[in-house]
Amino acid sequence: MNLDRIDLPLVAILRGLDPADAATVGRTLFDAGFRLIEVPLNRPGALQAMGIIRDLAPPDALVGGGTMLTLADVDAVADAGGRIFVAPNYDPAVIAHARERGLLCAPGVATPTEAFAALAAGAHILKLFPAETIGPAGLKAMKSVLPAGTPLWPVGGVTPEQIAAWKAAGATGAGIGSQLFTPGVAPDELARRAQAFAAAWHAA
């Protein structure tokens, strides 16, 4: 899967999304330029919400699951038409299975050891989690020893004001959770937050 065609490499993490709100949330994010959507599986209704967003997504969007911890999680998302595998951890068997199912694989890592192991298992992208503890300096140091061109996405507490620092350190994208979406957020507020992140990324 070629990420070069994604103009805004920010992943909207929609934890706790109610399926009844999925269409409105999805349209709002797509209108703001988001093309990467993650619905974490550790909340009720996640697969249904993911499917609703997938059905209305633009052709260049990728929609998938987050907090995917098991082979069964991978199968559930793939069978529901999801195209992204995101996890908070590194599990070689789960990564390999997600890759076999054709998903874009972004497992969570926090150390160089985990990063190299995840790449060896087939990861396409490294999710640096929790980003708050790794920081831009940690990302920059990790990038210096990883294979050139390795996509690095900090996740956890990333704000629009921090985007420039993360990009300067070598981040090629980021995952945005509660700073962007919280259950019940009004569509106009979601649009404002999404536009702020998009503007910060393009300006950096």
- Provide the pLDDT for residue 2: 63
pLDDT of 41: 98
From the candidates 38, 100, 143, 167, which is the catalytic residue?
38
Q: Which domains does the chain carry?
A: 3-203 (3.20.20.70)
Could you give the CA distance from residue 107 to residue 62 in angstroms, rounded to a whole number? 16
Task: Please give the pLDDT value at position 3.
Answer: 73
Burial of 186 (0-12, 13-18, 19+ CB in 10 A): exposed
Which 8-state DSSP code applies to residue 162?
G
Whether 127 is a known active-site residue: answer yes
Among 100, 114, 127, 132, the active-site one is: 127
pLDDT tens, per residue, the chain with 204 residues: 567 778 999 999 999 999 999 999 999 999 999 999 999 999 999 999 999 999 999 999 999 999 999 999 999 999 999 999 999 999 999 999 999 999 999 999 999 999 999 999 999 999 999 999 999 999 999 999 999 999 999 999 999 999 999 999 999 999 999 999 999 999 999 999 999 999 999 999
Q: Using DSSP, how many helices (H) and how many strands (E) does the chain show?
A: 8, 9
Contact call for residues 160 and 166 (beta carbons, < 8 A): no
Q: Measured in whole angstroms, how far is the alpha carbon of residue 160 from the centre of its chain? A: 16
Q: Does 132 participate in catalysis according to the annotation? A: no
From the list 79, 76, 73, the residue with the least C-alpha distance to 107 is 73
